[in-house]
Amino acid sequence: MVRSFISLLVVFVSLAGPARAQNGDSLPPQAVRLIEGGPREWFGGTRKAIAATFGRPDSVEVRLVSNVHNSRSIDSIVTWHYPAATMVFYAVTRSHRDLLREGTIGGARYLKRSPLPLGATVPQVRAFFHDPSGGSTPHMLYSTESELTHTLELWFERDRLVQLRWVYPID
């Protein structure tokens, strides 16, 4: 099942554009740590922790959603926008808990702890992930398969890294 999903993901990404998806088993440990950690590891995974590092967001969006475990409970997707970052949280109404669901960062000051700084070249990023593919690309996608899928997307302009986006699973 997992291998089928990964094969389908590789085909989909290949059709969508010049990106590379890899199974977490083939990624080096530092790559897995970046994909599964990133902003959650560096800043924390809650709104309180992110606010302590990033400060008050420039704008906030809230969207109501049904809880996947209890359709009678309404939860929220809360998006915080900063000048060079966007953080998306899943807020569980009943427990008053929230978790960082997505983090998109395009500002160097937020990536000081990242092993891949903005401005890294496509070959440098591929070497970090032990990715054997070559050539120019505007976008890469890497994921890990533990119990749940973690994803890291990277965008490039003129073969230089300009933005990273982590998507974390919510159970």
pLDDT digits (tens, 9 = 90+) for 39-98: 999 999 999 999 999 999 999 999 999 888 888 889 999 999 999 999 999 998 877 889
What confidence category does residue 154 fall into, taking pLDDT thresholds of 50, 70 and 90?
very high
Number of domains in the chain: 1
Mean pLDDT along residues 111-123: 96
| 3-state DSSP assignment of residue 16 | helix
Both structure tokens of 102: 């997505």
72 located within any domain: yes
pLDDT above 50 (res 149): yes
What confidence category does residue 30 fall into, taking pLDDT thresholds of 50, 70 and 90?
very high
171 located within any domain: no
Report whether 75 contacts 93 (CB < 8 A).
yes
> Phi and psi (nearest 5°) for 10?
-65, -45
Q: Residue 89: give the domain boundaries.
A: 2-164
Q: How many Å apart are CA 95 and CA 156, to the nearest integer?
A: 39
142 located within any domain: yes
102 located within any domain: yes
Q: Is 8 left (phi over 0), alpha (psi -120 to 50) or beta?
A: alpha
- Terminus-to-terminus CA distance in the chain, angstroms? 19
Both structure tokens of 85: 């970052």
What confidence category does residue 127 fall into, taking pLDDT thresholds of 50, 70 and 90?
very high
Q: Is 58 left (phi over 0), alpha (psi -120 to 50) or beta?
A: alpha
pTM score: 0.82
Report whether 152 contacts 142 (CB < 8 A).
yes
Report pLDDT for 21. Answer: 47
Helices (H), 17-137: 29-36, 38-43, 47-54, 122-128
What confidence category does residue 24 fall into, taking pLDDT thresholds of 50, 70 and 90?
very low
169 located within any domain: no
